[in-house]
Amino acid sequence: MPANGAPTKITQGSQTKGGIGESTLRPDGTLKVTGEFAYSSDMWHEDMLWGQILRSTVAHAEIVSIDTSEALATAGVYAVLTYDDLPTEVKNYGLEIQDTPVLAHGKVRHHGEPVALVAADHPETARRAAAKIKVEYRELPVVTDEKSALAPDAVLVHENRDDHHCGHVPHPNIVHRQPIIRGDVEEARRRADVIVEGEYTFGMQDQAFLGPESGLAVPEEDGGVHLYVATQWLHSDLRQIAPVLGLPEEKVRMTLAGVGGAFGGREDLSMQIHACLLALRTGKPVKIVYNRFESFFGHVHRHPAKLYYEHGATKDGKLTHLKCRIVLDGGAYASASPAVVGNASSLSVGPYMVDDVDIEAIALYTNNPPCGAMRGFGAVQACFAYEAQMDKLAKKLGMDPVEFRQLNAMEQGTVMPTGQPVDSPAPVAELLRRVKAMPLPPERQWESSEGADVRQLPGGLSNTTHGEGVVRGVGYAVGIKNVGFSEGFDDYSTAKVRMEVVGGEPVATVHTAMAEVGQGGVTVHAQIARTELGVTQVTIHPADTQVGSAGSTSASRQTYVTGGAVKNACELVREKVLEIGRRKFGTYHPAWATAELLLEGGKVVTDAGEVLGDLVDVLEDEVVEVEEEWRHRPTEAFDLRTGQGNGHVQYSFATHRAVVEVDTELGLVKVIELACAQDVGKALNPLSVIGQIQGGTTQGLGVAVMEEIIVDPKTAKVRNPSFTDYLIPTILDTPTIPVDVLELADEHAPYGLRGIGEAPTLSSTPAVLAAIRNATGLELNRTPVRPEHLTGTA
Amino acid sequence: MRVNFTVNGRPQEADDVWEGESLLYVLRERLGLPGSKNACEQGECGSCTVRLDGVPVCSCLVAAGQVEGRDVVTVEGLAEYAKQRAEGGCASGACGTTLQDAQLGVPPGEAWGRQAKGTDSQTGEGGELSTVQQAFIDAGAVQCGFCTPGLLVASDELLERNPNPSDADIREALSGNLCRCTGYEKIMDAVRLAAARQSEEV
Amino acid sequence: MDFLRPASWEEALAAKAEHPTAVPIAGGTDVMVEINFDHRRPEYLLDLNRIGDLYEWEVGEESVRLGASVPYTKIMESLRAELPGLALASHTVASPQIRNRGGVGGNLGTASPAGDAHPALLAAGAEVEVESAARGTRLIPIDEFYTGVKRNALRPDELIRAVHVKKADGPQQYSKVGTRNAMVIAVCAFGLALHPETRTVRTGIGSAAPTPVRAKAAEEFLNAALEEGGFWDNGKIITPSVAKQFAGLCSAACNPIDDVRGTASYRRHAVGVMARRTLTWTWESYRGNHRTTEGAA
């Protein structure tokens, strides 16, 4: 129950079993544990071919020639396609800026860029044929960092830009720039008793979803194509795919195949257009499945960043000002970079009250791998920096780091640096209090009567310490993430809900295009339908493009926005059902006309609980169906010079306390516990909420101590595209994650809920870093922190 | 080449197998058993874990030709395997048959079509599940589910070997199975739950 | 590609003689990765799974004859007393699934400097039993086996049949550094064996030079220091300065590179730390046994 603030209001149908607030189980759970759930890579079709993509072996080069003749002559090969085979004038795609070539044209801009496609009867045939394609490259100098990108004579990654950002950026190798200016920093700086500066580096993280990019394109008789694919947003894919194929959107049918995780990595297209092109060319179904190596090239990563921060504070611990500059490396193509810049800048101050700010965030075009959406989206990098700053300030002031944060914590009513007031609960200080109040794990848990249990020590099974050099550290962090698409984006969702009697029972069918990527949206949709419509049986229709857009499964938005759309459609269905009831039975009981009526437990009841009739009798053989779009409150763009504007819909807050044990001699880290307290507004499904928080926490742990795509600064080539060298946490790296869930309703959101998926990924990383600093006394201005950083051997 | 072996208690024959193919490819693409997942193809994630003559292995690293005459159990046969074990039957899974349904290929889009029939899996409808399968559902250990088949095979084998594992034992036994969604906490819960339920059954 | 399935050791040797380019595959944990990722397309794959001999071991008077394909899991479970260093090393190999398939023969065949078994074999003392159809069996001392980066002393027509590892006559230890607490390739590794019978110490270093190596200067230093101080007899604590110098010499035996897994400088440092710690652990164990024996007498 909420500790303070308004309790969540649930007005309807709470009597129906399996409704919101219960930990109902996943509807796809049985299929997933029996191996029957069909992921995109499991798709199969008679006569299907296998698609293979030939990718560039260099990062930046002119393509002098491509010779496909030998590949085409290979037995079992059905098609080989290059840029010249693209069917229309539309040859690029992109989420916001259409700068990404479907196949390289004259030039490649990053390592692993698609150059040619092969379709063959066996994956090995396709691989061998792709290897026979001769591409001659003339290498160009590479742009790999801010210095090389912004030099006066810098090589331009994209010549002749004409996108809507190119007018306001100071250099053509900057995708987008967002300053935020508020108050008077110079004046505020004079009030500061202490000033703390820091330069921070955030490494390139990969989503590393376990199900690599894959799908099946089936040509249709009408000349169109049906694509079964794992994605985060069917309609966004469709909007980008259809023009390249030269088909109207109706002729490109899309069905969501099972998605093996996403975390932002499926927001951009990967194999979609390629599979469709090959299917349309060969007239046969074409399946493409990336292997892990290709997956590292097949999707965008989290932007690596350099962050320059200066904070001031008075001696009694109040923040005076923030000056910061955030440089995000967007890589070769824009992807979601502009929106990431908007987030990084507008959330760069963190969940703190600072009136005077001078902030700038930019994203660069470089020849590094393209970067875009990943869980936390710009807010992650900023949180790493401002939380390090908070610890430095507290230390300099001789204050407790948690108390220092609480003293400066924002609350409801605080005005963001964008000028936007926070108009729902912002329990930052309370979350810090809660996470600090959780009991600490016992010391030296690895000691046993039989000696040290290495599994519980840094190094684990590798037997590097039996306790020698091991020092414990504790660290705290808190973060703020926006929920939903911001900056004036029309962020709507559509839901189609049908109600009818099947087999003598009222049944609701919920049809949306929402991408279920594992988050549990399908579970929640059924709960909402039960709550609103008083039914037990809910069928979740497969997600496809036969219904309107549900927006993206990202930005912590799906339960809020598509959940909101389902709720809204259910309410409209309910009204229609009640109309039918009034028409049929209104004359039998006055309450039909006078009382507020609900649907509960398969019946129509008054708000006083009196049963007016069975839904089965009301509906008989009538089918009620509603398809309707639903929108959250509109937002505004940020002013391009001052960053002012009501850009965000809702904020989400999480705090972490990390307890680590560091082998200070070998620089190995074991995270012992990562406690989290988070405000979720209203937990529609508590089991799923905790699962999201623990999963997000672990991804934050990963980028704290191990995860990084390493790009050679001389060649811009990726050096570790495999699960052997890009390490993600195993179960032995992951600690217990106790979670304290706070539920303070946001009155603007459906059921008072708050988007939850991303916030835990923000604060987990800086909490782990703070704990390692606490254990080692080192400054540690980069993440991930590797053993060489802890041992002075970098 | 041709490969003959037993999968989930049923003799199987795969023809025209390319010599470089893995057991995983043969299961998924030739025998219509896509339950074992291909997530890394380098033995680093455990998503393709199957029992080979009873031993958990990464099927992506077993050459198809190496399984000639041998016995494989996949996630599709796990429930039957566990059932026979409980009944004291053939523990290797070499006897008995598995669900007919699991042997069929998966046509596109079918999964959601099938799922649409159900509502919640609380009821466990759609055939019997093994203790560990049910525990994964009940504990919330399944999110995207891609790692789930491999984790189930590995967890089931752990509990066969060690019916009452400590937390450290569970972590060690599952350290070859990556999960990106859950942070492993609910997986720990699921294995603890399965162990507790199994001990009640005995 | 052709898949050869010999049913016996003799058939395997004949196949290897006929097709010297054939790539032996046993556990598949190296070879299949290379095939899956299109790094290798051998003309012939030579499957050794059907040769039962390779999965067996014999414990002799002086040494254990360990079949090339005995999985690491078996070594961990069944040979902890005889081969404690190798058993510890086996436990650090990748994951349970990999340990169920992979064996020492694969590590030796691949001869990657990062192979987990090498430092333990070097420290314990071992000979690799190889055989060809034409010339029969020969035993290659482990010190002569590693000839370069991913190169070994094997001739094209030879196969690895077994490795003869000296049974432990004293405490052994093994440590490996990785940037993850499980399922990780060695950034560097260190094996140490005390041999009270000969009053010597042997070492093995992995992933810190082009090949697995012994820190011979460190061994010589320590042998001399232990002898001079009468340590083998008096069972005293090794002085910190001796341990420190030993660690420094072990670091100096490294010739590492910078790569994505770690810096050369870190590898040198970590090998020194592991050398010091494993020396402490083994020596404490030796002293414990020593005292126990004395007490019993």
Ranges of each domain in chain A: 29-37+492-631, 40-140+212-259+266-298, 427-482+648-790
Token pair for residue A393?
């300030």
CB contact under 8 A, A540 and B28: no
Strand partners, C46: C4, C24
**Residue pLDDT, tens place only, A343-388:** 999 999 999 999 999 999 999 999 999 999 999 999 999 999 999 9
Give domain status of residue B114, yes or no: yes
Strand partners, A178: A361
- Percentage of residues in chain A with pLDDT exceeding 90? 96
Mean pLDDT of A140-147: 97
The one-letter amino acid code at A498 reads: R
CATH of A29-37+492-631, one of 3.90.1720.10, 3.30.2270.10, 3.30.70.2190, 3.30.365.10: 3.30.365.10
Give domain status of residue C205, yes or no: yes
* φ and ψ at residue A154, rounded to 5 degrees: -60, 145
Give domain status of residue C16, yes or no: no
* Per-residue confidence (pLDDT) for residue A594, from 0 to 100: 84
The answer to whether residue C277 scores a pLDDT higher than 90 is yes
**Residue pLDDT, tens place only, C134-160:** 999 999 999 999 999 999 999 999 999
* φ and ψ at residue A140, rounded to 5 degrees: -115, 160
Q: How many residues are there in chain A? A: 794
Does the beta carbon of A737 lie under 8 angstroms from any beta carbon of chain B? yes
Tell me the pairing of strands A505-511 and A537-540.
parallel
Mean pLDDT of C210-239: 96
Q: Which chains touch C (3 or more CB pairs under 8 A)?
A: A, B
- Domains identified in chain C, total number: 1
- Domains identified in chain B, total number: 1
**Residue pLDDT, tens place only, A257-277:** 999 999 999 999 999 999 999
Question: What does the DSSP assignment read for A328-361?
Answer: EE-TTS-TTHHHHHHHHHHTTT-SB--SEEEEEE
Give domain status of residue B100, yes or no: no
Distance from CA of C34 to the nearest CA of A (A): 12
Tell me the pairing of strands A252-256 and A286-289.
unpaired
Q: Which chains touch B (3 or more CB pairs under 8 A)?
A: A, C
B45: domain CATH number?
Answer: 1.10.150.120
| B134 contact residues in A (CB cutoff 8 A) | 33
* pLDDT confidence band for C18 (50 / 70 / 90): very high
* Per-residue confidence (pLDDT) for residue C291, from 0 to 100: 66
Give domain status of residue C153, yes or no: no
Question: What does the DSSP assignment read for A483-548?
Answer: ES--TT---EEEEEEEEEEETTEEEEEEE--B--SSS-HHHHHHHHHHHHH--SEEEEPPPBTTS-
Q: The pTM is what? A: 0.96
**Residue pLDDT, tens place only, A226-260:** 999 999 999 999 999 999 999 999 999 999 999 99
**Residue pLDDT, tens place only, A587-625:** 999 999 988 999 999 999 999 999 999 999 999 999 999
For chain B, the farthest-separated pair of C-alpha atoms sits apart, in whole angstroms, at: 48
| C31 contact residues in B (CB cutoff 8 A) | 63
CB contact under 8 A, C28 and B46: no
* pLDDT confidence band for B118 (50 / 70 / 90): very low
CB contact under 8 A, A793 and C263: yes
The answer to whether residue A13 scores a pLDDT higher than 80 is no
The answer to whether residue B43 scores a pLDDT higher than 70 is yes
* pLDDT confidence band for A15 (50 / 70 / 90): low
* Per-residue confidence (pLDDT) for residue A599, from 0 to 100: 96
Rounded distance, CA A342 to CA A362, Å?
9
Token pair for residue B158?
């752990």
- Picking from B20, B58, B177, the nearest residue to C1 by CB comes out as B20
CB contact under 8 A, C183 and B172: no
| B46 contact residues in C (CB cutoff 8 A) | 95, 97
**Distance in angstroms between the alpha carbons of the first and the last residue of chain B:** 45
The answer to whether residue C8 scores a pLDDT higher than 60 is yes
Q: Can you tell me which residue has the tokens 């259910």?
A: A570
* pLDDT confidence band for A450 (50 / 70 / 90): confident
The answer to whether residue B95 scores a pLDDT higher than 90 is no
CB contact under 8 A, C95 and B46: yes
Distance from CA of C102 to the nearest CA of B (A): 10
Give domain status of residue C178, yes or no: yes
Range of the domain at B149: 3-94+106-201
* Per-residue confidence (pLDDT) for residue C293, from 0 to 100: 52
The answer to whether residue C297 scores a pLDDT higher than 70 is no
CB contact under 8 A, A25 and B140: yes
Range of the domain at C244: 172-296
CB contact under 8 A, A36 and B18: no
CB contact under 8 A, A787 and C260: no
* pLDDT confidence band for B115 (50 / 70 / 90): very low
Rounded distance, CA A656 to CA B47, Å?
30
Does the beta carbon of A734 lie under 8 angstroms from any beta carbon of chain B? yes
* Per-residue confidence (pLDDT) for residue B106, from 0 to 100: 39
* Per-residue confidence (pLDDT) for residue B201, from 0 to 100: 79
Token pair for residue B150?
């491999």
Does the beta carbon of C181 lie under 8 angstroms from any beta carbon of chain A? yes
Rounded distance, CA A500 to CA A618, Å?
10
Distance from CA of C136 to the nearest CA of A (A): 38
Rounded distance, CA A37 to CA B106, Å?
9
* pLDDT confidence band for B89 (50 / 70 / 90): low
* Per-residue confidence (pLDDT) for residue B26, from 0 to 100: 98
Mean pLDDT of A277-304: 98
ipTM of the prediction: 0.96
* Interface A:B, Cβ pairs < 8 A: 262
CB contact under 8 A, C182 and A668: no
Q: Can you tell me which residue has the tokens 């199975």?
A: B177
* pLDDT confidence band for C292 (50 / 70 / 90): low
* pLDDT confidence band for B104 (50 / 70 / 90): very low
Residue ranges of B 114-173 with Cβ closer than 8 A to chain C: 154, 172-173
The one-letter amino acid code at A253 reads: R
**Residue pLDDT, tens place only, A508-557:** 999 999 999 999 999 999 999 999 999 999 999 999 999 999 999 999 99
What count of other Cβ atoms lies within 10 Å of the Cβ of residue A687? Answer: 19
CATH topology agreement for domains A40-140+212-259+266-298 and A427-482+648-790: no
For chain C, the farthest-separated pair of C-alpha atoms sits apart, in whole angstroms, at: 65
CATH topology of domain A40-140+212-259+266-298: Aldehyde Oxidoreductase; domain 3 (3.90.1170)
* pLDDT confidence band for A452 (50 / 70 / 90): very high
Token pair for residue A648?
């965000």
**Residue pLDDT, tens place only, B146-187:** 999 999 999 999 999 999 999 999 999 999 999 999 999 999
Mean pLDDT of A327-332: 98
| B55 contact residues in C (CB cutoff 8 A) | 100
Three-class DSSP category at A404: helix
Rounded distance, CA A473 to CA A660, Å?
5
CATH of the domain spanning A427-482+648-790: 3.30.365.10
Does the beta carbon of A369 lie under 8 angstroms from any beta carbon of chain B? no
Which residues lie closer than 8 Å to A305 by C-beta, 6 or more apart? A200, A201, A202, A326, A327, A328, A329, A344, A381
Does the beta carbon of C173 lie under 8 angstroms from any beta carbon of chain A? yes
Question: Measured at the alpha carbon of residue A537, what is the angle toward residues A536 and A540, in degrees to the nearest 5?
Answer: 130
Between C187 and B95, name the one with better pLDDT: C187
Helices (H), chain C: 9-18, 31-36, 72-78, 84-91, 96-99, 104-110, 117-124, 142-145, 216-228, 231-234, 240-252, 264-296
Burial of A612 (0-12, 13-18, 19+ CB in 10 A): buried
* Per-residue confidence (pLDDT) for residue A449, from 0 to 100: 87
C201: domain CATH number?
Answer: 3.30.390.50
- Quick one: which of A669, A652, A673 has its CA closest to A661? A669
- Quick one: which of A232, A4, A287 has its CA closest to A121? A287
* pLDDT confidence band for B114 (50 / 70 / 90): very low
* pLDDT confidence band for C268 (50 / 70 / 90): very high
Give domain status of residue C242, yes or no: yes
**Distances in whole angstroms, Cα of residue C22 to Cα of each of C4, C48, C156, C159:** 9, 12, 9, 10
A155 dihedral zone (left: phi>0; alpha: psi -120 to 50; beta)? beta
* Per-residue confidence (pLDDT) for residue A415, from 0 to 100: 98
* pLDDT confidence band for A196 (50 / 70 / 90): very high
Q: Are the beta carbons of C280 and C240 closer than 8 angstroms?
A: no
